[in-house]
Amino acid sequence: MGPLAGGLLLRSLGWQSIFLINLPLGVLAVGAGLWGIPERKYPDHAALDPVGQIVSIFSLGALAYGMIATGDDGFSRALPLIVMALAGFAVFAAVERRARRPLVPVTLFRNRSFAVVNSASFILGFSYYSSLFFTSIYLQQIQGWPPADAGWRMMPQFVATGCVSMLFGRLSMVVPVRRLMAAGYGLTALSMSGMAFCTAVTPYGVVALLFGLLGAGAGLAVPATGIVVMSMAPPELAGSVSATMNALRQAGMTIGIALLGTLMSEQAVRVLARAAAGQGIADAEAVAHLAVTHHVLPAGFPGFARFYTLAMERGFHAAMLCAGVSGFIALALLASLRTAHEDNGASVSPGWRR
């Protein structure tokens, strides 16, 4: 519902409302959590790691900002931020290994199944969750729909996700969870790859079908991943494992938006600069960069808008193709894990076996 609500807020109250609405929602969520989610069974195992929290925030922030800065200033200027982020992750791993109540139960990552499924969850955040950002750009800046209309046109995705999620319990009674998970990752990867061929004139029926497939895939992949991961968690670490899985997914989304956004903008700038230079526009690179990053088109060139749309198409194609390939990589990881268990006769978690 986020894109739809965001479009309506943007149309009625301005872009600031998109951020301000999170304040009361955040307060409500914190209050509800404090009231309704007490630690009853294992209070001594609840994560208490303020140093790890600070280091993780610093590392993820530096990495995301470094990736964004790469698109604006080039890799050489962003390199110090990326190095700082990598160093921060190394410090974070060291802190977690020594913490008595760590933020992330790193010892569980020695279990290959646990590590692979969480890696797939990270890739799901990187590809599927970040794709919401790019499909919104596609509908607004390539197909030309206003924000509220773009939100409505994304509804097949959210309706499909809700319906499939509600049916997941019944589906899991007749189809193994591992197969539902594989189907979910496969559908999301296939849909995002299909979007890499959408243009400004692609009929909405095709776009809606891809949105529906994407939503259905997420409705299978998200709950199945949660079941499999939680089935590997010791009861006393269930809260930490759940938080780790969701944090990895959110980190994947943050990195996906930053990295794929940089890829999209660089590809669009490259295509637009080439077209602008062919039309005799002076300082074509700077003009293209301003148009793509700030949506400021030069006056006096009536055909420039068409070149802009084409450039944004190419950038969108690059981002969605990368997202789709990432989804297939996650699917391959899950398949190889299952194959390895079958070949080696190793024990598997109950969630994976179902």
User: pLDDT value at position 191?
Assistant: 97
Q: Are 48 and 240 in contact (CB under 8 A)?
A: no
pLDDT number for residue 345? 41
Residue 72 pLDDT: 64
For 149, residues 6+ apart whose C-beta sits below 8 A from its C-beta are 7, 139
pLDDT at 314: 96
Whole-number pLDDT of residue 39: 59
Task: List the chain residues with pLDDT less than 50.
Answer: 340-350, 352
| Tokens coding 234 | 């010791």
pLDDT of residue 167: 94
pLDDT for position 64: 79
Q: Over the chain, what is the mean pLDDT?
A: 85
CA 181 from chain centre, in angstroms, equals 17
